Structure 1
Amino acid sequence: MLQRVAQWLWVHLTGVVLAFTLISSLFFLTRAPSLKVGPVRWALLYAISGGQSVFRYPIHIVSLKTENRYLRSQLLLKVINETELRELRAENERLREMIAFTRDRDLELLAARVLSHDVEIPPTSIVIDVGTSAGVAPFDAVVSARGLVGRCDESPTWNRSIVRLLTDPGIRTSVMVQNPARPMGILRWNGAEMHIDNIAQELPVAVGETILTSGLGGIFPPGLHVGVVDSVREDPHALFKDVIMKPSARLYRLEEVFVVRVHRDSASIGQQEGHNAVGR
Structure 2
Amino acid sequence: MFSHGAVPGYRMLLCAIVAFGLMFAEHRFTRMDELRAQLSTLVAPVQWVVSLPSEVLTWGALALSDQRALVEENRRLREQLLTLSQRAQQTAHLTAENVRLRELLRAARRDEMPYITAELLSLDSDPFTHQMVIDRGRRDGAYVGQPVMDASGLVGQVTAVSAFSSRVLMINDASHALPVQVTRNGLRFVVQGSGHYERLNVMHVPDTADIRVGDRLLTSGLAGRFPLGYPVGRVVSVEHDPGEPFARVIAEPAAQLQRSRHFLLLFPPPEPRPGEALWDESFSVVEPPQELQR
> TM-score range, shorter-chain basis?
0.5 to 0.7
Identity rate, percent: 26
- What TM-score do the two structures reach when normalised by structure 1? 0.58
Matched, 1:187 2:171: no
- What TM-score do the two structures reach when normalised by structure 2? 0.56
Question: If each structure's helix is expressed as a fraction of its own residues, which one has the higher value?
Answer: 1
Higher Cα radius of gyration: 1
Distance in 2, matches of 1:171 and 1:115, equals: 21
- 8 Å contact 1:211–1:229 — kept in the other structure? yes
How far is 1:85 from its partner? 11
Q: How does 1:147-166 map to 2 (within 5 A)?
A: 147-153=153-159, 155-166=160-171
Which secondary structure does the structure 1 equivalent of 2:81 belong to? Answer: helix
Partner of 1:167: 172
- 8 Å contact 2:143–2:158 — kept in the other structure? yes
Partner of 1:209: 215
Partner of 1:29: none
Distance in 2, matches of 1:90 and 1:122, equals: 35
How far is 1:126 from its partner? 1.1
Partner of 1:24: none
How far is 1:224 from its partner? 1.0
- 8 Å contact 1:122–1:252 — kept in the other structure? no
- 8 Å contact 1:122–1:167 — kept in the other structure? no
Matched, 1:136 2:142: yes
Matched, 1:117 2:123: yes
Cα offsets for 1:96-146 (capped at 9, x unmatched): 431312444621111111111122459711111111211111101101110
C-alpha distance 199-263 of structure 1, shift in aligned 2 (>3 A): same
Which secondary structure does the structure 2 equivalent of 1:235 belong to? Answer: coil
Distance in 1, matches of 2:226 and 2:130, equals: 18
- 8 Å contact 2:129–2:174 — kept in the other structure? no
Pairs aligned (count): 185
- 8 Å contact 1:102–1:109 — kept in the other structure? no
Matched, 1:226 2:232: yes
Partner of 2:249: 243
2:259 to 253, 264, 267: 253
Matched, 1:198 2:182: no
Q: How does 1:2-81 map to 2 (within 5 A)?
A: none
Distance in 1, matches of 2:134 and 2:158, equals: 9
Distance in 2, matches of 1:166 and 1:89, equals: 31
RMSD: 3.0
Partner of 2:53: none
C-alpha distance 196-102 of structure 1, shift in aligned 2 (>3 A): closer
How far is 1:248 from its partner? 1.2
- 8 Å contact 1:130–1:136 — kept in the other structure? yes
Cα offsets for 1:61-106 (capped at 9, x unmatched): xxxxxxxxxxxxxxxx79x959999988986764343131244462
- Code of the residue aligned with 1:174 in structure 2: it is P
Which secondary structure does the structure 1 equivalent of 2:210 belong to? Answer: coil
How far is 1:234 from its partner? 1.2
C-alpha distance 263-138 of structure 1, shift in aligned 2 (>3 A): farther
Which secondary structure does the structure 2 equivalent of 1:133 belong to? Answer: helix
C-alpha distance 208-116 of structure 1, shift in aligned 2 (>3 A): same
- 8 Å contact 2:129–2:195 — kept in the other structure? no
Which secondary structure does the structure 2 equivalent of 1:191 belong to? Answer: strand
Structure 2 unaligned segments of length 5 or more: list them: 1-60, 91-111, 271-294
How far is 1:262 from its partner? 2.4
- Code of the residue aligned with 1:98 in structure 2: it is L
